[in-house]
Each structure stands twice: as structure tokens, then as C-alpha cells.
């Protein structure tokens, strides 16, 4: 990596008292029990923007983790992503107290309809002045499907087929329904919107159907920045075609580098520039002024980990009931309808077999991704090494102790990265897309599949005449 390549950073959070590490809400300095208050989110946003973070990446899950032991008891007791609240609604709170920070919001398309969904994210893009991204997920929990009145969740590959259909529909709504100048707000002629510049969207897909005018006028980015988090074989192809930013996990550099290379090569096959996609590795960072202090902090945090809650998360993510295995048994590959990439990473893609007990620890194996403990210089060395060796662009920094862990990183690691010339000292202007891809403009490039749905502007004068004044 050259010294001029900029590392990207997101704060990885969830609108829930527990996120990637179950039980840490019990830590005396943790604030995540207040996840359902506006002050919690405003403070988080201020800290992230003070650290010049690119964004807050909001995870979400639709359903409860009830695979472990055949019930949701462990997840509920340990606050393992339960309860969880709607992530979209905290974005305006954070946007109100920041100017530059972006927001990547996870939303499950399986239980949405493109027509209403397009309006919701266009609204968020307006209210944030173009700082919103959508993490495209398709859902995997059977509990969520049953909660929505379905017999079962869609099969893994069917979810991606439905995703292709959903994206085509929202692309048509965001990119092709309203022309840029349709909402002219012409007071003199009493015409807010020129009807000739708003076009009906007709989409007749195998999963979704739309017949109507998009409800929202074009937002600053039109289509939000597109994130994606699936790196199974089918997920990589989906990401290669659509994603602008990818959140990935992986225990080893080889594992991560292989995924990055495959997706970049896939993007080229779809006619895109491989650099149209940025990669964020999920990473837990524990930093203190000295290594000894950081190691002690790791030990302290580990005492609060809820093992049953952690296994409930893992069981839900993999679709495998971990309660059926002893802690010293090696994890074996099982065909799953859940997060198939995680099962593959824990088994066939791994350098060595992991045991079920190891996966429940506050350590690199339990992280399933990057896990860095050390002094500021040691943490900076390790992050830079990951970027150099895997071709990722940055990191989704996992919530550990809210908001202490983020403040530690901002105060200790960010200055170290800045001193080495690998992290920005000031924000660029513009939308989230312009900040992530300088020089590309606020909207998707023409080489992205969404661009095929754009319309050329109608030059003719509107047929609408000024309204007659009342007598």
C-alpha cells in the first residue's frame, strides 16, 4: 500500500442492546442499555464525526435467534440482538448533529415492497442531504419468515434471485421515474411538478410487481450508496454486479484476500471498474496507551461475555444448533439456509478446524474476523498490514463497550493513522458517494446496471398552464 492510499472507517453498530458480542451490555461502563434513546445515537454520531469516520454502519436482523436449543431463551436473556429496533429511524437523529458522517443502513428486502421501500430511502437521502447507503440483505432467519406469516424462509439462492428482481424495480423508481428538474417549484406558474417529467414505472418481475409513479422526487444521490454483506458463492456474484461497498468477515488474510479478488474480478466481468467496489472488514479493536493495558482490557471485557448468548448468535447465523455439540468438538460443514459464507469460512475455507468452544470466546476465533489488541502504534501497524495484504479498503469497527471503545479508537488510533498519511485529516465535501469515490459525482456511474434505467431530460415546455386565480 502506498502512503497516499486512504483507509476507510465505519463504526459498526446495531439498534439493540447486544450486537456482535453478547452480554457486554452488563459491563459497568457500557451504554448500550440506552440504545432506545435519542441521546445514545446523537453521542455516537458526534464521536464518529470527531474521528473523521466515513460512516456509521447499522446492522439489522429480522426475527429472533431461536436455533440454539430450539428456543429464543438464550438470545432474549443475553440480549443477543434481542430486542432490536428499526435502524432507519435513528438516522435523522444522527444526521441532525453531524455534517459529513455517512450512514449505511441494513434493510431486508424480503419483507419489503420496492414501491414503498424506494420512498423510505429517498426520504432518508433527502433528510441527510445525500449521506445514506443501503446494506442490501435478503434475510435468513426462519423466525422472521414465520413472524411475517410465511411457512419458511426462502431458499438461499432464491433469496438472491428475488434480490435481483427487487433491485431492478427500485432502480427504475429511483433512476427512471422523475427527471432531475421535474419538481421545479414554479410559484409564478403555480406548478410544483411538471407532469411530463414524471414517468410511470412498470415492472413485472418474478417476485415483485410495480405499476405507478415514484412517490418521491429525486434525492441528492437518487440511488443510495449500495452496500452488501453476503460473500457466499452466490453472494459474491450478486455483489460483483451491484455493490459499491462490501462488508466482509474472515479469520485469515488469505480468506479475505480471496474474497476480495473474486469479487473485483466479477465486477470486471459485469463491465464495471474493479475499484468501483470498496471492502470493509469487520474488526474488533481493543486499544490502550500500552500493550499491557490493552491486554488487560481484553481480559476484563471477556469476563462479561455471555457464552450462551454468543452461541445463540452463532446458531442463528449458521443455522446450526450449537447446543447439540460439546465445546471441544470441531465445527463441521453443514449445508445451511442461513449465512452460508460464515459456515464456509469456519470449515472449508479455514486453515485449521475450530472447536465450538473456541467460537464462544472473546478472541480472534470468536470474532470470525479481524481482532486486534495493542497500543496505538501496534493497532495501526496491524490495520495497515490487513489493507496491504488483502486489498481491502477499510474496516467496520465492531461495537464492544459503547461508546468507550469507539472513543478509544478516535483518541488513540486515528491520530496515529493520520500521522502516517493513511487517514484523512479533513472531510471532503459532497454526498456519501462523493466522499467514498472522489471525482465520480453524487450518483451511480454509467457503468453500474442502475444507470440503464435513466431517462434523458424532456426539453419541451410543460403542457401544464398556470392555475387560474379564484374569483
Given a contact cutoff of 8 angstroms between Cβ atoms, the answer to whether 32 and 18 are in contact is yes
Query: Which pLDDT does position 468 carry in this prediction?
Result: 36
Cell numbers given for 224: 443510495
Task: Map grid coordinates 446494506 to a residue.
Answer: 135
Q: How many residues does the chain have?
A: 471
> Which secondary-structure segment (H or E) carries 467?
none
Query: Which pLDDT does position 340 carry in this prediction?
Result: 47
Cell numbers given for 75: 438470545
Helix (H, G, I), strand (E, B) or coil at 212: strand
Task: Extract the residue ranges of the chain whose pLDDT is less than 50.
Answer: 1-3, 337-340, 347-348, 458-471
Query: Which pLDDT does position 235 carry in this prediction?
Result: 86
Helix (H, G, I), strand (E, B) or coil at 109: helix
Task: Map grid coordinates 493520520 to a residue.
Answer: 418
Interaxial angle between packed helices 376-390 and 253-269, expressed in degrees from 0 to 180 and rounded to the nearest 10: 40
C-alpha–C-alpha distance, residues 45 and 34, integer Å: 15
> Which secondary-structure segment (H or E) carries 135?
strand 132-137
User: Phi/psi at 145 (nearest 5 deg)?
Assistant: -60, -45
Would the CA dihedral through 407, 409, 412, 417 be positive or negative?
A: negative
C-alpha–C-alpha distance, residues 436 and 427, integer Å: 10
CA triplet 322, 328, 329: central angle to 5 degrees? 60
DSSP state letter for 270? T
User: Phi/psi at 374 (nearest 5 deg)?
Assistant: 165, -170
C-alpha–C-alpha distance, residues 326 and 320, integer Å: 13
Class of domain 8-452: alpha beta
Given a contact cutoff of 8 angstroms between Cβ atoms, the answer to whether 167 and 137 are in contact is no
Amino acid at each position: 500500500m502506498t502512503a497516499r492510499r486512504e483507509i476507510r472507517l465505519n463504526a459498526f453498530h446495531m439498534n439493540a442492546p447486544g450486537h456482535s458480542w453478547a452480554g457486554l451490555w452488563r459491563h459497568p461502563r457500557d451504554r448500550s442499555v440506552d440504545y432506545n434513546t435519542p441521546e445514545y445515537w446523537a453521542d455516537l454520531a458526534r464521536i464518529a464525526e470527531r474521528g473523521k469516520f466515513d460512516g456509521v454502519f447499522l446492522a439489522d436482523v429480522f426475527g429472533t435467534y431461536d436455533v440454539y436449543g430450539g428456543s429464543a431463551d438464550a438470545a432474549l436473556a443475553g440480549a443477543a440482538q434481542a430486542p432490536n429496533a428499526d435502524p432507519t429511524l435513528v438516522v435523522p437523529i444522527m444526521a441532525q448533529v453531524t455534517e459529513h458522517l455517512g450512514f449505511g443502513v441494513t434493510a431486508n428486502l424480503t419483507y419489503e415492497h420496492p414501491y414503498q421501500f424506494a420512498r423510505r430511502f429517498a426520504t432518508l437521502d433527502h433528510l441527510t442531504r445525500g449521506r445514506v447507503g443501503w446494506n442490501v440483505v435478503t434475510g435468513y432467519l426462519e423466525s422472521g419468515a414465520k413472524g411475517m406469516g410465511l411457512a419458511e424462509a426462502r431458499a438461499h439462492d432464491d433469496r438472491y434471485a428475488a434480490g435481483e428482481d427487487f433491485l431492478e424495480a427500485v432502480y427504475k423508481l429511483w433512476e427512471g421515474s422523475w427527471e432531475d428538474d421535474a419538481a421545479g417549484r414554479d410559484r409564478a406558474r403555480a406548478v410544483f411538478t411538471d407532469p411530463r417529467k414524471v414517468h410511470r414505472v412498470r415492472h413485472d418481475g418474478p417476485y415483485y410487481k410495480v405499476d405507478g409513479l415514484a412517490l418521491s422526487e429525486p434525492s441528492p444521490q437518487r440511488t443510495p450508496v449500495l452496500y452488501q454483506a453476503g460473500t457466499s458463492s452466490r453472494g459474491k456474484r450478486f455483489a460483483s454486479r451491484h455493490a459499491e461497498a462490501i462488508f466482509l468477515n474472515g479469520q485469515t488474510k488469505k480468506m479475505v484476500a480471496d474474497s476480495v479478488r473474486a469479487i473485483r474480478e466479477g465486477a470486471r466481468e459485469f463491465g464495471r471498474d474493479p475499484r468501483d467496489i470498496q471492502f470493509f472488514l469487520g474488526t474488533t479493536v481493543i486499544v490502550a496507551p500500552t500493550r499491557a493495558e490493552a491486554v488487560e482490557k481484553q481480559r476484563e471485557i471477556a469476563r462479561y461475555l455471555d457464552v450462551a448468548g454468543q452461541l445463540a448468535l452463532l446458531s442463528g447465523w449458521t443455522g446450526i444448533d450449537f447446543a447439540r455439540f460439546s465445546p471441544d468438538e470441531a465445527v463441521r460443514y453443514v449445508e445451511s439456509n442461513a449465512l452460508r459464507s460464515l459456515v464456509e469460512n469456519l470449515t472449508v475455507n479455514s486453515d485449521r478446524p475450530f472447536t465450538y468452544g473456541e467460537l464462544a470466546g472473546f478472541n480472534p476465533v470468536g470474532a470470525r474476523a479481524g481482532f486486534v489488541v495493542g497500543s496505538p502504534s501496534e493497532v495501526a501497524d496491524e490495520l495497515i498490514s490487513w489493507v496491504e495484504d488483502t486489498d481491502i479498503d477499510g474496516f467496520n469497527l465492531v461495537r464492544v463497550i459503547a461508546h468507550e471503545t469507539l472513543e478509544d479508537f478516535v483518541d488513540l488510533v486515528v491520530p496515529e493513522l493520520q500521522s502516517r498519511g493513511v487517514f484523512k485529516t479533513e472531510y471532503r465535501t459532497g454526498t456519501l458517494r462523493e466522499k467514498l469515490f472522489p471525482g465520480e459525482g453524487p450518483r451511480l456511474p454509467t457503468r453500474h446496471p442502475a444507470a440503464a434505467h435513466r431517462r434523458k431530460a424532456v426539453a419541451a415546455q410543460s403542457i401544464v398552464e398556470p392555475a387560474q386565480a379564484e374569483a
